[in-house]
Structure 1
Amino acid sequence: MTQAAAILRTGRKFDQVLRGAREVFMADGFEGASVDDIARAAGVSKATLYSYFPDKRLLFMEVAQTECKRMAENVIAMIDDSKPAREVLTIAATQLTAFLVSEFAQQVFRICVAERDRFPELGKAFYEAGPQNGQRQMAEYLEKAVKKGELAIEDVHIAAEQFSELCKVRIWPRAAFGIQTSFEKSEIDAIALQAVDMFMARYGV
Protein backbone atom coordinates (compact mmCIF):
# COMPACT_ATOMS: atom_id res chain seq x y z
CA MET A 1 0.00 0.00 0.00
CA THR A 2 1.33 3.44 -0.93
CA GLN A 3 1.71 6.20 1.63
CA ALA A 4 -1.12 8.12 -0.05
CA ALA A 5 -3.41 5.09 0.18
CA ALA A 6 -2.47 4.57 3.81
CA ILE A 7 -3.36 8.18 4.59
CA LEU A 8 -6.65 7.82 2.71
CA ARG A 9 -7.67 4.83 4.85
CA THR A 10 -7.60 6.76 8.11
CA GLY A 11 -9.53 9.62 9.65
CA ARG A 12 -13.06 10.49 10.71
CA LYS A 13 -14.82 9.77 7.42
CA PHE A 14 -13.06 6.43 7.00
CA ASP A 15 -14.24 5.42 10.47
CA GLN A 16 -17.75 6.59 9.60
CA VAL A 17 -17.74 4.39 6.51
CA LEU A 18 -16.71 1.34 8.54
CA ARG A 19 -19.37 1.99 11.19
CA GLY A 20 -22.07 2.49 8.59
CA ALA A 21 -21.02 -0.59 6.65
CA ARG A 22 -20.95 -2.70 9.79
CA GLU A 23 -24.49 -1.61 10.65
CA VAL A 24 -25.86 -2.38 7.18
CA PHE A 25 -24.02 -5.69 6.73
CA MET A 26 -25.28 -6.86 10.11
CA ALA A 27 -28.85 -5.93 9.25
CA ASP A 28 -29.06 -6.92 5.58
CA GLY A 29 -26.24 -9.39 4.94
CA PHE A 30 -23.75 -9.04 2.12
CA GLU A 31 -26.05 -9.46 -0.86
CA GLY A 32 -28.80 -7.26 0.62
CA ALA A 33 -26.45 -4.44 1.63
CA SER A 34 -26.64 -1.63 -0.93
CA VAL A 35 -24.04 1.07 -1.46
CA ASP A 36 -26.77 3.68 -1.06
CA ASP A 37 -27.76 2.31 2.34
CA ILE A 38 -24.15 2.10 3.50
CA ALA A 39 -23.41 5.67 2.41
CA ARG A 40 -26.58 6.88 4.15
CA ALA A 41 -25.78 5.00 7.38
CA ALA A 42 -22.21 6.34 7.28
CA GLY A 43 -23.32 9.92 6.62
CA VAL A 44 -21.07 10.25 3.57
CA SER A 45 -21.58 10.59 -0.16
CA LYS A 46 -21.35 7.63 -2.51
CA ALA A 47 -18.33 9.32 -4.08
CA THR A 48 -16.59 9.37 -0.70
CA LEU A 49 -17.50 5.73 -0.11
CA TYR A 50 -16.13 4.68 -3.49
CA SER A 51 -12.93 6.67 -2.91
CA TYR A 52 -12.19 4.33 -0.01
CA PHE A 53 -13.73 1.11 -1.32
CA PRO A 54 -14.45 0.73 -5.05
CA ASP A 55 -15.76 -2.78 -4.39
CA LYS A 56 -18.30 -3.91 -1.77
CA ARG A 57 -16.25 -7.03 -1.12
CA LEU A 58 -13.28 -4.92 -0.06
CA LEU A 59 -15.49 -2.99 2.33
CA PHE A 60 -16.88 -6.16 3.90
CA MET A 61 -13.39 -7.59 4.33
CA GLU A 62 -12.21 -4.38 5.97
CA VAL A 63 -15.14 -4.44 8.41
CA ALA A 64 -14.47 -8.08 9.33
CA GLN A 65 -10.71 -7.58 9.70
CA THR A 66 -11.13 -4.42 11.77
CA GLU A 67 -13.56 -6.10 14.18
CA CYS A 68 -11.37 -9.18 14.57
CA LYS A 69 -8.30 -7.01 15.17
CA ARG A 70 -10.17 -5.02 17.81
CA MET A 71 -11.25 -8.22 19.56
CA ALA A 72 -7.69 -9.59 19.52
CA GLU A 73 -6.27 -6.33 20.88
CA ASN A 74 -8.83 -6.31 23.69
CA VAL A 75 -7.88 -9.84 24.72
CA ILE A 76 -4.16 -9.09 24.58
CA ALA A 77 -4.67 -5.99 26.72
CA MET A 78 -6.39 -8.11 29.38
CA ILE A 79 -3.73 -10.81 29.49
CA ASP A 80 -0.73 -10.68 31.77
CA ASP A 81 1.45 -13.63 30.81
CA SER A 82 3.28 -13.38 34.12
CA LYS A 83 0.12 -14.76 35.72
CA PRO A 84 -0.51 -18.52 36.08
CA ALA A 85 -1.47 -20.31 32.87
CA ARG A 86 -4.94 -21.24 34.12
CA GLU A 87 -5.75 -17.60 34.85
CA VAL A 88 -4.49 -16.43 31.45
CA LEU A 89 -6.35 -19.18 29.60
CA THR A 90 -9.58 -18.46 31.48
CA ILE A 91 -9.51 -14.83 30.37
CA ALA A 92 -8.78 -15.85 26.78
CA ALA A 93 -11.47 -18.55 26.76
CA THR A 94 -14.13 -16.25 28.19
CA GLN A 95 -13.43 -13.54 25.62
CA LEU A 96 -13.19 -15.99 22.71
CA THR A 97 -16.39 -17.84 23.63
CA ALA A 98 -18.32 -14.57 23.93
CA PHE A 99 -17.01 -13.40 20.56
CA LEU A 100 -17.82 -16.66 18.78
CA VAL A 101 -21.52 -16.41 19.65
CA SER A 102 -21.74 -12.64 19.23
CA GLU A 103 -24.13 -11.23 16.64
CA PHE A 104 -21.20 -9.92 14.62
CA ALA A 105 -19.24 -13.18 14.46
CA GLN A 106 -22.33 -15.22 13.64
CA GLN A 107 -23.50 -12.86 10.91
CA VAL A 108 -20.06 -12.71 9.29
CA PHE A 109 -19.86 -16.50 9.43
CA ARG A 110 -23.25 -16.80 7.71
CA ILE A 111 -22.22 -14.29 5.03
CA CYS A 112 -18.93 -16.09 4.35
CA VAL A 113 -20.71 -19.45 3.99
CA ALA A 114 -23.47 -18.01 1.79
CA GLU A 115 -20.98 -16.29 -0.51
CA ARG A 116 -18.33 -19.03 -0.42
CA ASP A 117 -18.67 -20.14 -4.03
CA ARG A 118 -19.03 -16.69 -5.60
CA PHE A 119 -16.59 -14.78 -3.39
CA PRO A 120 -14.23 -17.21 -1.63
CA GLU A 121 -11.96 -14.29 -0.74
CA LEU A 122 -14.52 -13.13 1.85
CA GLY A 123 -14.17 -16.30 3.87
CA LYS A 124 -10.41 -16.32 3.42
CA ALA A 125 -10.11 -12.76 4.73
CA PHE A 126 -12.29 -13.48 7.76
CA TYR A 127 -10.46 -16.73 8.50
CA GLU A 128 -7.07 -15.03 8.36
CA ALA A 129 -8.14 -12.07 10.50
CA GLY A 130 -10.15 -14.14 12.96
CA PRO A 131 -9.47 -17.85 13.60
CA GLN A 132 -5.98 -17.98 12.07
CA ASN A 133 -4.78 -14.80 13.77
CA GLY A 134 -6.26 -15.84 17.11
CA GLN A 135 -4.69 -19.28 16.94
CA ARG A 136 -1.32 -17.80 16.02
CA GLN A 137 -1.39 -15.52 19.05
CA MET A 138 -2.54 -18.36 21.29
CA ALA A 139 0.32 -20.53 20.00
CA GLU A 140 2.77 -17.75 20.86
CA TYR A 141 1.44 -17.62 24.41
CA LEU A 142 1.48 -21.42 24.76
CA GLU A 143 5.12 -21.46 23.66
CA LYS A 144 5.96 -19.08 26.51
CA ALA A 145 4.00 -21.17 29.01
CA VAL A 146 5.86 -24.30 27.89
CA LYS A 147 9.21 -22.58 28.36
CA LYS A 148 8.13 -21.51 31.88
CA GLY A 149 7.30 -25.14 32.68
CA GLU A 150 3.58 -24.50 33.21
CA LEU A 151 2.39 -26.55 30.24
CA ALA A 152 3.71 -29.65 28.44
CA ILE A 153 2.85 -29.35 24.73
CA GLU A 154 4.65 -30.88 21.76
CA ASP A 155 2.75 -28.99 19.04
CA VAL A 156 1.55 -25.58 20.23
CA HIS A 157 -0.23 -24.88 16.93
CA ILE A 158 -2.44 -27.96 17.21
CA ALA A 159 -3.02 -27.17 20.89
CA ALA A 160 -4.09 -23.62 20.00
CA GLU A 161 -6.66 -24.98 17.54
CA GLN A 162 -7.88 -27.48 20.12
CA PHE A 163 -8.31 -24.64 22.62
CA SER A 164 -10.49 -22.63 20.23
CA GLU A 165 -12.61 -25.69 19.44
CA LEU A 166 -13.18 -26.35 23.14
CA CYS A 167 -14.53 -22.81 23.42
CA LYS A 168 -17.22 -23.67 20.83
CA VAL A 169 -18.71 -26.65 22.65
CA ARG A 170 -22.51 -26.64 22.79
CA ILE A 171 -23.17 -22.95 22.32
CA TRP A 172 -21.52 -22.29 18.94
CA PRO A 173 -23.53 -24.93 17.03
CA ARG A 174 -26.70 -23.66 18.72
CA ALA A 175 -25.91 -20.15 17.56
CA ALA A 176 -24.84 -21.20 14.05
CA PHE A 177 -28.04 -23.18 13.44
CA GLY A 178 -30.28 -20.51 14.94
CA ILE A 179 -31.45 -22.69 17.81
CA GLN A 180 -30.43 -20.03 20.31
CA THR A 181 -29.76 -16.37 19.48
CA SER A 182 -28.64 -14.96 22.81
CA PHE A 183 -26.57 -16.36 25.66
CA GLU A 184 -26.33 -15.42 29.30
CA LYS A 185 -22.94 -14.53 30.71
CA SER A 186 -23.26 -17.54 33.00
CA GLU A 187 -23.55 -19.87 29.96
CA ILE A 188 -20.50 -18.33 28.32
CA ASP A 189 -18.47 -18.47 31.54
CA ALA A 190 -19.40 -22.12 32.10
CA ILE A 191 -18.24 -23.18 28.63
CA ALA A 192 -15.02 -21.17 29.00
CA LEU A 193 -14.20 -22.72 32.38
CA GLN A 194 -14.90 -26.23 31.10
CA ALA A 195 -12.67 -25.54 28.09
CA VAL A 196 -9.82 -24.50 30.36
CA ASP A 197 -10.37 -27.50 32.65
CA MET A 198 -10.19 -29.89 29.70
CA PHE A 199 -7.16 -28.14 28.22
CA MET A 200 -5.27 -28.13 31.52
CA ALA A 201 -6.16 -31.77 32.14
CA ARG A 202 -4.39 -32.60 28.88
CA TYR A 203 -1.50 -30.14 28.91
CA GLY A 204 -1.11 -28.86 32.46
CA VAL A 205 2.02 -29.75 34.42
Structure 2
Amino acid sequence: MPTPPAPAVRPPAADPTTTGATRPRRDTRGTAARIRAAARRLFLEKGYEGTSMDAVAAAAPVSKRTLYQHFPGKADLFGAVIDEAWSHFTRAPLIPSEATGDARAVLRAYVARLTEHWARPDVIPLLRLVIAEAPRFPELSQAYFAAGKEPAVKGLAAYLAALLAEGRLPAGLDPQLMAAQFLGAIKEPLFWPRVLGVPVAFDATEAVERAIDGILGKA
Protein backbone atom coordinates (compact mmCIF):
# COMPACT_ATOMS: atom_id res chain seq x y z
CA MET A 1 0.00 0.00 0.00
CA PRO A 2 1.61 3.36 -1.03
CA THR A 3 2.54 5.81 1.70
CA PRO A 4 0.32 8.92 1.60
CA PRO A 5 2.15 12.18 0.86
CA ALA A 6 3.29 14.22 3.87
CA PRO A 7 1.29 17.38 4.57
CA ALA A 8 2.83 20.63 3.44
CA VAL A 9 4.83 22.46 6.08
CA ARG A 10 4.10 26.15 6.24
CA PRO A 11 4.75 29.02 8.61
CA PRO A 12 1.75 29.57 10.89
CA ALA A 13 -0.96 31.64 9.25
CA ALA A 14 -2.64 32.66 12.48
CA ASP A 15 -0.87 32.04 15.76
CA PRO A 16 -3.41 32.17 18.60
CA THR A 17 -0.96 34.25 20.62
CA THR A 18 -1.27 37.16 18.20
CA THR A 19 -4.05 39.53 17.26
CA GLY A 20 -5.35 40.08 13.78
CA ALA A 21 -8.44 40.77 11.75
CA THR A 22 -10.24 37.86 13.39
CA ARG A 23 -8.81 38.71 16.83
CA PRO A 24 -8.00 35.15 18.02
CA ARG A 25 -7.99 34.56 21.73
CA ARG A 26 -4.97 35.69 23.71
CA ASP A 27 -2.61 33.05 24.98
CA THR A 28 -2.39 34.47 28.50
CA ARG A 29 -0.79 31.30 29.90
CA GLY A 30 1.95 31.05 27.30
CA THR A 31 0.64 27.69 26.12
CA ALA A 32 1.65 28.12 22.47
CA ALA A 33 5.18 29.15 23.45
CA ARG A 34 5.46 26.14 25.76
CA ILE A 35 4.27 23.84 22.97
CA ARG A 36 6.79 25.31 20.52
CA ALA A 37 9.61 24.88 23.03
CA ALA A 38 8.69 21.25 23.64
CA ALA A 39 8.36 20.59 19.92
CA ARG A 40 11.72 22.20 19.17
CA ARG A 41 13.43 19.95 21.73
CA LEU A 42 11.80 16.84 20.31
CA PHE A 43 12.43 17.74 16.69
CA LEU A 44 16.12 18.24 17.44
CA GLU A 45 16.36 15.06 19.51
CA LYS A 46 14.24 12.71 17.40
CA GLY A 47 13.96 14.37 14.00
CA TYR A 48 10.81 15.45 12.23
CA GLU A 49 9.61 11.98 11.32
CA GLY A 50 10.39 10.62 14.78
CA THR A 51 8.40 13.29 16.62
CA SER A 52 4.71 12.63 17.16
CA MET A 53 2.05 15.09 18.23
CA ASP A 54 1.28 12.82 21.17
CA ALA A 55 4.90 13.15 22.33
CA VAL A 56 4.74 16.94 21.99
CA ALA A 57 1.54 17.07 24.05
CA ALA A 58 3.15 14.98 26.78
CA ALA A 59 6.33 17.07 26.80
CA ALA A 60 4.58 20.47 26.84
CA PRO A 61 2.59 19.24 28.88
CA VAL A 62 -0.88 19.95 27.47
CA SER A 63 -3.89 17.93 26.46
CA LYS A 64 -4.04 16.79 22.85
CA ARG A 65 -7.14 18.90 22.42
CA THR A 66 -5.23 22.01 23.53
CA LEU A 67 -2.31 21.13 21.27
CA TYR A 68 -4.52 20.83 18.20
CA GLN A 69 -6.35 24.04 19.07
CA HIS A 70 -3.05 25.87 18.72
CA PHE A 71 -1.44 23.80 15.94
CA PRO A 72 -3.74 21.71 13.71
CA GLY A 73 -0.98 19.33 12.67
CA LYS A 74 2.72 18.52 12.90
CA ALA A 75 3.42 20.45 9.70
CA ASP A 76 1.94 23.61 11.23
CA LEU A 77 3.89 23.07 14.42
CA PHE A 78 7.20 22.63 12.63
CA GLY A 79 6.49 25.77 10.61
CA ALA A 80 5.87 27.66 13.86
CA VAL A 81 9.16 26.42 15.34
CA ILE A 82 11.07 27.55 12.24
CA ASP A 83 9.25 30.87 12.20
CA GLU A 84 10.16 31.48 15.85
CA ALA A 85 13.83 30.59 15.23
CA TRP A 86 14.02 33.20 12.47
CA SER A 87 11.84 35.79 14.22
CA HIS A 88 14.73 37.31 16.18
CA PHE A 89 16.22 38.28 12.83
CA THR A 90 13.26 38.87 10.52
CA ARG A 91 10.98 40.70 12.99
CA ALA A 92 13.54 43.43 13.69
CA PRO A 93 14.19 46.50 11.50
CA LEU A 94 17.34 45.07 9.95
CA ILE A 95 18.11 47.45 7.15
CA PRO A 96 16.69 50.77 5.94
CA SER A 97 14.20 50.75 3.07
CA GLU A 98 15.68 54.03 1.81
CA ALA A 99 19.21 54.81 0.62
CA THR A 100 20.13 57.12 3.49
CA GLY A 101 23.36 57.37 5.44
CA ASP A 102 26.60 55.46 5.04
CA ALA A 103 25.87 52.37 2.93
CA ARG A 104 29.01 50.59 4.15
CA ALA A 105 27.95 51.08 7.77
CA VAL A 106 24.44 49.85 6.95
CA LEU A 107 25.77 46.65 5.39
CA ARG A 108 28.18 46.08 8.28
CA ALA A 109 25.29 46.39 10.74
CA TYR A 110 23.19 43.99 8.66
CA VAL A 111 25.95 41.37 8.72
CA ALA A 112 26.44 41.88 12.47
CA ARG A 113 22.76 41.11 13.08
CA LEU A 114 23.00 38.12 10.77
CA THR A 115 25.99 36.66 12.63
CA GLU A 116 24.16 37.19 15.94
CA HIS A 117 21.31 35.19 14.45
CA TRP A 118 23.66 32.34 13.48
CA ALA A 119 24.96 32.20 17.05
CA ARG A 120 21.53 31.50 18.55
CA PRO A 121 21.54 27.94 19.93
CA ASP A 122 18.68 26.59 17.82
CA VAL A 123 19.44 28.13 14.41
CA ILE A 124 22.19 25.87 13.07
CA PRO A 125 20.77 22.67 14.63
CA LEU A 126 17.40 23.34 12.97
CA LEU A 127 19.09 23.96 9.63
CA ARG A 128 20.98 20.68 9.96
CA LEU A 129 17.66 18.98 10.70
CA VAL A 130 16.05 20.50 7.60
CA ILE A 131 19.00 19.43 5.42
CA ALA A 132 18.97 15.89 6.82
CA GLU A 133 15.22 15.37 6.42
CA ALA A 134 14.63 17.30 3.19
CA PRO A 135 15.04 14.26 0.88
CA ARG A 136 12.02 12.65 2.58
CA PHE A 137 10.21 15.84 3.55
CA PRO A 138 11.06 18.55 0.99
CA GLU A 139 8.35 20.73 2.49
CA LEU A 140 10.64 21.33 5.50
CA SER A 141 13.12 23.26 3.40
CA GLN A 142 10.22 25.18 1.83
CA ALA A 143 9.10 26.23 5.32
CA TYR A 144 12.65 27.23 6.27
CA PHE A 145 13.00 29.29 3.11
CA ALA A 146 9.62 31.02 3.49
CA ALA A 147 10.03 31.81 7.19
CA GLY A 148 13.48 33.34 7.13
CA LYS A 149 15.76 33.10 4.15
CA GLU A 150 13.35 34.64 1.66
CA PRO A 151 12.45 37.71 3.77
CA ALA A 152 16.11 38.22 4.70
CA VAL A 153 17.14 38.35 1.05
CA LYS A 154 14.15 40.50 0.08
CA GLY A 155 14.96 43.13 2.69
CA LEU A 156 18.57 43.36 1.56
CA ALA A 157 17.52 43.47 -2.10
CA ALA A 158 15.10 46.33 -1.38
CA TYR A 159 17.91 48.36 0.18
CA LEU A 160 20.21 47.69 -2.76
CA ALA A 161 17.39 48.70 -5.13
CA ALA A 162 17.14 51.98 -3.25
CA LEU A 163 20.87 52.55 -3.68
CA LEU A 164 20.48 51.85 -7.40
CA ALA A 165 17.59 54.30 -7.67
CA GLU A 166 19.74 56.99 -6.04
CA GLY A 167 22.56 56.34 -8.48
CA ARG A 168 24.85 55.02 -5.77
CA LEU A 169 25.42 51.71 -7.57
CA PRO A 170 26.10 51.07 -11.27
CA ALA A 171 22.91 51.08 -13.34
CA GLY A 172 21.52 47.88 -14.77
CA LEU A 173 22.36 45.57 -11.86
CA ASP A 174 19.82 43.12 -10.44
CA PRO A 175 19.25 43.89 -6.72
CA GLN A 176 17.96 40.38 -5.99
CA LEU A 177 21.02 38.76 -7.53
CA MET A 178 23.33 41.25 -5.79
CA ALA A 179 21.71 40.42 -2.44
CA ALA A 180 22.12 36.68 -3.01
CA GLN A 181 25.75 37.09 -4.08
CA PHE A 182 26.54 39.34 -1.12
CA LEU A 183 25.09 36.81 1.32
CA GLY A 184 27.00 34.04 -0.43
CA ALA A 185 30.23 35.98 -0.03
CA ILE A 186 29.53 36.23 3.72
CA LYS A 187 28.14 32.77 4.39
CA GLU A 188 30.63 30.67 2.42
CA PRO A 189 33.66 31.65 4.58
CA LEU A 190 31.88 32.38 7.89
CA PHE A 191 28.63 30.40 8.16
CA TRP A 192 28.95 27.08 6.37
CA PRO A 193 32.02 25.98 8.34
CA ARG A 194 29.89 26.34 11.49
CA VAL A 195 27.15 24.23 9.95
CA LEU A 196 29.67 21.54 9.05
CA GLY A 197 31.34 21.74 12.46
CA VAL A 198 34.78 22.71 11.16
CA PRO A 199 36.90 25.72 12.15
CA VAL A 200 36.34 29.04 10.39
CA ALA A 201 39.55 29.62 8.46
CA PHE A 202 39.07 33.29 7.58
CA ASP A 203 39.18 36.57 9.43
CA ALA A 204 35.59 37.71 9.85
CA THR A 205 36.30 41.43 9.48
CA GLU A 206 38.26 40.92 6.28
CA ALA A 207 35.60 38.63 4.82
CA VAL A 208 32.87 41.17 5.54
CA GLU A 209 34.83 44.09 4.11
CA ARG A 210 35.69 42.17 0.94
CA ALA A 211 32.01 41.27 0.48
CA ILE A 212 31.00 44.92 0.92
CA ASP A 213 33.70 45.95 -1.55
CA GLY A 214 32.06 43.63 -4.04
CA ILE A 215 28.84 45.65 -3.76
CA LEU A 216 30.05 49.19 -3.18
CA GLY A 217 33.59 49.15 -4.50
CA LYS A 218 36.61 50.14 -2.41
CA ALA A 219 35.90 53.86 -2.32
TM bracket, shorter-chain basis = 0.7 to 0.9
The unaligned stretches of length 5 or more in structure 1 are none
Q: Paired residue for 1:15? A: 33
Q: Paired residue for 1:194? A: 207
1:67 aligns with 2:80: no
**Does the CA-based 8 Å contact 2:97-2:159 persist in structure 1?**
no
Work out the number of aligned pairs and report it: 198
Q: Superposed, which structure 2 residues align to 1:167-186 within 5 Å?
A: 167-180=186-199
Counterpart CA distance in 1 for 2:156 and 2:36 is: 27
Q: Which runs of 4+ in 1 moved over 6 A?
A: 1-6
Q: Which amino acid aligns with 2:109?
A: I
**Does the CA-based 8 Å contact 2:95-2:159 persist in structure 1?**
no
Structure number with larger C-alpha Rg: 2
Q: Paired residue for 1:44? A: 62
Counterpart CA distance in 2 for 1:97 and 1:71 is: 10
Counterpart CA distance in 2 for 1:120 and 1:5 is: 31
**Does the CA-based 8 Å contact 1:139-1:156 persist in structure 2?**
yes
Q: Which amino acid aligns with 2:216?
A: Y
**Does the CA-based 8 Å contact 1:143-1:156 persist in structure 2?**
yes
CA shift digits 1:8-47 (9 cap, x unpaired): 6855322222233223333443234343443344332222
CA shift digits 1:158-182 (9 cap, x unpaired): 00001111221333232222225xx
The more displaced of 24-33 and 52-61 is: 24-33
Counterpart CA distance in 1 for 2:179 and 2:109 is: 15
Q: Paired residue for 1:121? A: 139
Identical amino acids, percent of aligned pairs: 27
How much has 1:130 moved relative to structure 2? 1.7
**Higher helix fraction (1 or 2):** 1
Counterpart CA distance in 2 for 1:80 and 1:133 is: 13
Alpha carbon RMSD of aligned pairs, Å? 3.2
Q: TM-score, normalised by structure 2?
A: 0.73
